């Protein structure tokens, strides 16, 4: 006994479907961005000692406000 297989028939499908997806906007700054901005505060103080943790927090806060207006 032989079996005959039907060829699979592919029905036409819309081929011109275009979906535009906007690139995801980052909602958190990178560590590199924060470090650069925090360092700029140190430079702006004339390289005077300060509180690095406060500089870091200030940089994070400022960058977040820029990213999430």
Q: Establish if 25 belongs to a structural domain.
A: no
What's the Cα-to-Cα distance from 28 to each of 1, 34, 35, 44, rounded to whole Å?
Answer: 67, 10, 13, 24
Q: Which domain holds residue 46?
A: 31-67
**pTM of the entire predicted model:** 0.63
Q: Establish if 4 belongs to a structural domain.
A: no
Q: Establish if 49 belongs to a structural domain.
A: yes
Q: Who wins on pLDDT, 25 or 41? A: 41
For range 42-67, the mean pLDDT: 96
Q: What is the DSSP secondary structure assignment for residue 25, as one 8-state letter?
A: P
Q: What is the pLDDT of residue 23?
A: 76
Q: Establish if 57 belongs to a structural domain.
A: yes
Q: Establish if 43 belongs to a structural domain.
A: yes
Instruction: Provide the number of structural domains found in the chain.
Output: 1
Q: Which of 67, 65, 54 is nearest to 27 (CA)?
A: 67
Q: Establish if 45 belongs to a structural domain.
A: yes
């Amino acid at each position: 006994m032989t079996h005959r297989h039907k060829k699979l028939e592919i029905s036409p499908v819309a081929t011109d479907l275009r979906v535009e997806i906007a690139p995801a906007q980052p909602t958190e700054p990178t560590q590199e961005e924060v470090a650069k901005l925090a360092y700029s505060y140190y430079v702006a103080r004339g390289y005077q000692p300060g509180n690095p943790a406060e500089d870091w927090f200030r940089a994070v806060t400022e960058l977040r406000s820029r990213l999430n207006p």
